[in-house]
A and B are shown apart, each in its own frame.
Chain A
Amino acid sequence: MTSIAVHDDRTPDDGAMAEAGAWVARLQRSEVGEADGLAFEAWLDAAPGNRGAYRRAVAIWQEFEANAEAVLAELEPLAQPIPIRRKPVRGWWVGGAGVALAAGLAVAVAPALMVQPLTQTFVTGKGQHQHVKLADGSVIDLNAETRLSVTLTRGERKVVLGDGEAIFDVAADKARPFTVAAADHLVRVVGTQFDVRNRQGGLTVTVARGKVQVRPLTAAVAGRSFLLTPGERLAVAAGGAEELKAVDPQETFSWRAGRLVYRDQPLGEVVADLNRQFVDQIEIGDPELAKLPITGVIVLDDPRAVTQRLSLMLPVRSVPSDRGLVLLRK
């Protein structure tokens, strides 16, 4: 018999309800993982009332999720105003950092002035990630050592990515295309999620959702135009060589969650990535070592632990130097 259809109709006891509430809350954490899953699994079967209590808690939770806007509209505004993105945003001047601007200018600004583009520049240093919410609802996550500028106007949403990498989660807006200019190429979307990496002159674009067009920035730049779909990655080397392949986008996106995922990547490139994430710098003592391929997941917690894990994956050892660490052959 299938157990799916079995519902526990008895009123769950208070203890089970409290635990169910704790599980619903715990599963909202942004870093829910395998351990949470296994603990949840164990809890479900730990007592006969747990499953029913959880079903009930989750049903209420989902009901609020599905009716969030309507319930908010019904509630009194919070006493202390907090800028929220709930209000439908029409122009670039509302929301995020723009709120202060709007508060000061809203009444006086003539419509003609509102179309004047506002360009914001975001820069991250070593070991810094930045989470940026734009006024249109789009979200950008900047990886370490990244510089980009954003210009939102009524007709378009424009990002210029210098050296660096970022994940774009673009709010759908058919009337305002979202473009990212990077390394002689233009990435153009309507609403989607994708990662653009522009390092050492090489550009990669990885798509998780939606469709993304990548084409040369001007007619003077050689190269073809591509339409990428989810799970595809386009790499354009500094020399112009183009390579399109199927990837798991979540691997590319993993840096946002503090992980780097590699498949047969030379140690030299991995170390270059790590040196953007930590102030302590890693040097490779032997040029031959830099070519060794690495496959695996590196958790970015602390440079010492990271090099320790590297030494488990590869025949290397590390010695301290004045800048950080030097990797040597074992």
Chain B
Amino acid sequence: MTASGPPERRAGEGRQDDSPLIRAFFEKRENLILFLAARTRSMAAAEDLVQDLYLRLATQTPAAEVKSPVALLYRMAANLLVDQVRSDQRSSRRSAQWRIETRASLGGEDVVDETPADEALIARERVRQLAAAVADLPPQMGRAFRLHKLEGRSQAETAEAMGVSRKMVEAHIQAAVRQLSKRLRS
């Protein structure tokens, strides 16, 4: 891997700090974003999380020498996933609900003024495509995808609701992602 350039989205991040951990961070930044992206709503959200991780690195005084900087980076990234991402997603999903509800209560009139009508049309068509692709999944796979992905349950909760093992849920999700990516072009 070649070292990547300075972080893209934000200016003002110095590289004068030459600690091995910071160096490893810049080298692995893109991979860390991809790692976190599996649990965020967008690439930008994953980049924000990686930015948080950088701030944590840059402000913490490292305890002695770090044996494996890359392992530590992934450990920190995983910790972000365990506690933060889930709850953030939950709250953002709640605010999405709120938006939907507000809109519905205004008598079906589209009040989202920043979205031009044709874009809204395209978005609606895309939602229909997404839904159709889910509806075409084999029943158990579709059910697992729905419970876990769309309703936001954990794999364990999905397994419980379906009466199957967690491993089975993961296998369904894997197959669903593969099938959906094949069918839908983003």
Contacts and interface: CB of A to CB of B under 8 A. Distances in A.
Contact of B149 (A44, A65, A257): A65
A191 interface: yes
B75 interface: yes
B164 interface: no
Interface in B132-168: 134-135, 143, 146-152, 154-156, 161
A121 B12 CA distance: 51
Contacts of B184: 60, 63
Contacts of B171: 25
A75 B38 contact: no
A137 B89 CA distance: 13
Interface stretch (A29-37, A103-111, A304-312): A29-37
B169 to A, nearest CB: 9
Contacts of A24: 38, 173-174, 177
Contacts of A27: 35, 38-39, 81
A262 interface: no
B34 A69 contact: no
Contacts of B38: 23-24, 27-28, 58, 61
Interface of B: 1-2, 4-5, 8, 28-31, 34-35, 37-43, 70-75, 77-79, 81-83, 86-87, 89-91, 93-94, 96-98, 100-101, 126-128, 130-131, 134-135, 143, 146-152, 154-156, 161, 170-171, 173-178, 180-182, 184, 186
A193 B84 CA distance: 10
A40 to B, nearest CB: 6
The 8 residue pairs across chains A and B that have the minimum distance between CB atoms: A37-B74, A74-B131, A21-B177, A21-B178, A27-B38, A25-B174, A34-B75, A25-B173
B181 A4 contact: no
